[in-house]
Amino acid sequence: MRNFHITRVWGIPIRVNISLLVFLPVLAWLIGSGAQIAAYAGIVGALAGTELDISVLLAGSTPWVVGTLAAVGLFVSVTLHELGHAWAGMRYDLEVESITLWILGGLASFKTFPREWQKEFWIAVAGPITSVLTGVACYAILVALPANATVALFVVGWLAVTNLVLAGFNMLPAFPMDGGRVLRSLLARKRSYASATRTASRIGTSFAILFAVVGVLNFAPMLLLLALFIYAAASGESRTVALADLLEGLTVGDVASPTRLTIDADATVEELVDRMFAERSTEFTVTQAGEVVGVVTVADFKELSKAQREADTVADLMVTDLPRLDSAMSAFDALVELDTGRATSALVESPEGTHVVSREDFTSAMEMRRLERADGPF
């Protein structure tokens, strides 16, 4: 979904997802509803040391004002929470690509995430610590406000309570929430990073199922959405770490197969079909003047008639806009490049010439790694 850039903090782009813009009026209404105001007025009054006049909070359009201020304040708090993560990451010289606010909160995106348990631990806890400090700051403002500033007292007090709840909720060991990352970092002290991720992901999946059950029983769509997010994110990160572990230490040059089956770009498609039958292969590397220029597969010509196969050349069908990778690039980064470009193959440039690497090559390399160590991530 579309994101809108709103500002920069410490050079980090702050973006708002369209889901938040759509949900913000709903959130303002939910917070400013009579039930929410009545539920929190007593708590806020106890914190402020005075009794809040609920009739003032419910008069006219005041609930909308309260709801809007509280909703905006909540996402400012979420931004501060994510900036806490970003600040900790920057202390370890990590690049923060962006902070995105969306319907479920915020997300600080790092270009690379450290595998050292100490770094992950402090980056993970920095967000909840920031939320606690924000809550304390709101409480200090609450105490300093005059007793007759009813709306301001309620909003600031509500933010004080909400920030503390936000910190506590984020520390649940539901990977990949902050508490789940703290759990993984502690597990990684005495086991491999992949094994720690696998365990944390299983616990995160269990929490996702629990949230889903509670969400269904209590008709809470936000909890269901959170459950789906945790389940998908935990499963996805577990797979990513497992792949990275299997490909660790390999370059894309190591993974790429030597170019064996080639066909000239000027050959007819009919010649290509004959070669595929003879070689029992569905993919060929295409060359021109001895240089690799593309790839052609059976899918590229299966819709052609026999007449078209005799008239068209391989150059008319071959895929040439393949990613070009340096042979020294890490195998995992190369696989990410293929996924990002939705490509099935890539051209690998090396001092020995240009080769083609396919997803099948990565699969073969990972299978060999898996067979080498029975206790691997799979």
pLDDT in tens, 87-146: 999 999 999 999 998 887 888 888 888 888 999 999 999 999 999 999 999 999 999 999
Is 81 assigned a ligand-binding role in the annotation? Answer: yes
Q: Would you state the pLDDT for residue 114?
A: 84
Q: Which of 18-32, 172-186, 256-270 has the lowest mean pLDDT?
A: 256-270
Q: Would you state the pLDDT for residue 176?
A: 84
Q: Side by side, which strands form the sheet with 291-297?
A: 262-264, 283-288, 291-297
**Rg, Å, the chain Cα set:** 28
Q: Would you state the pLDDT for residue 319?
A: 73
3-class SS letters over the chain:
CCEEEEEEECCEEEEEEHHHHHHHHHHHHHHHCHHHHHHHHHHHHHHHCCCCCHHHHHCCCHHHHHHHHHHHHHHHHHHHHHHHHHHHHHHCCCCEEEEEEECCEEEEEECCCCCCHHHHHHHHHHHHHHHHHHHHHHHHHHHHCCCCCHHHHHHHHHHHHHHHHHHHHHCCCCCCCHHHHHHHHHHCCCCCHHHHHHHHHHHHHHHHHHHHHHHHHCCCHHHHHHHHHHHHHHHHHHHHHHHHHHCCCCEHHHHCCCCCCEEECCCEHHHHHHHHHHHCCCEEEEEECCEEEEEEEHHHCCCCCHHHHHHCEHHHHCECCCCEEECCCEHHHHHHHHHHHCCCEEEEEECCEEEEEEHHHHHHHHHHHHHHCCCCCC
With tokens 């008639």, the residue in question is 305
Under 8 Å between Cβ of 322 and 343: yes
User: Average pLDDT for residues 147-161, to the nearest whole number?
Assistant: 91
Is pLDDT larger for residue 176 or for residue 84? 84
Q: Would you state the pLDDT for residue 186?
A: 94
pLDDT band at 377 (very low <50, low <70, confident <90, very high): very low
User: Average pLDDT for residues 271-292, to the nearest whole number?
Assistant: 79
Instruction: Tally Cβ neighbours within 10 Å of residue 368.
Output: 10
pLDDT over 90 percentage in the chain: 25
94: nearest Cα among 12, 6, 196: 12
Which residues are the active-site residues? 82
Q: Does 378 score more than 60 pLDDT?
A: no
Is pLDDT larger for residue 350 or for residue 187? 187
User: Average pLDDT for residues 362-373, to the nearest whole number?
Assistant: 78
Q: Would you state the pLDDT for residue 376?
A: 47
| CA atoms lying within 13 Å on the CB side of residue 107 | 13
Is 5 assigned a ligand-binding role in the annotation? Answer: no
Q: Would you state the pLDDT for residue 375?
A: 52
Q: What is the pTM of this model?
A: 0.74
Instruction: Tally Cβ neighbours within 10 Å of residue 217.
Output: 9
Q: Would you state the pLDDT for residue 258?
A: 67
Under 8 Å between Cβ of 101 and 15: yes
**Spans of all domains in the chain:** 3-246, 252-372
- CATH number for the domain whose boundaries are 252-372: 3.10.580.10
Q: Would you state the pLDDT for residue 243?
A: 80
Q: Would you state the pLDDT for residue 140?
A: 94
Long-range CB contacts (< 8 A, 24+ apart) of 347-355? 347/292, 347/322, 347/323, 348/252, 348/253, 348/256, 349/324, 349/325, 350/253, 350/326, 351/327, 353/259, 353/292, 354/259, 354/291, 354/292, 355/253, 355/256, 355/257, 355/258, 355/259, 355/292, 355/327
CA 174 to chain centre: 15
- Residue 24 tokens read as 């913000």
Which residues does residue 105 pair with via DSSP β-bridges, in sequence order?
A: 102
Is 53 assigned a ligand-binding role in the annotation? Answer: no
User: Average pLDDT for residues 281-290, to the nearest whole number?
Assistant: 76
CA 84/CA 73 separation, integer angstroms? 17
Q: Which of 70-84, 152-166, 333-347 has the lowest mean pLDDT?
A: 333-347
Q: Does 82 score more than 90 pLDDT?
A: yes
14-47 residue pLDDT tens: 999 888 888 888 888 888 877 788 888 888 888 8
Q: Would you state the pLDDT for residue 316?
A: 79
Long-range CB contacts (< 8 A, 24+ apart) of 319-322? 319/294, 319/295, 319/345, 320/293, 320/294, 322/294, 322/295, 322/346, 322/347, 322/356
pLDDT over 70 percentage in the chain: 96
Q: Does 80 score more than 90 pLDDT?
A: yes
199-237 residue pLDDT tens: 898 999 999 999 999 888 888 887 888 888 888 888 888
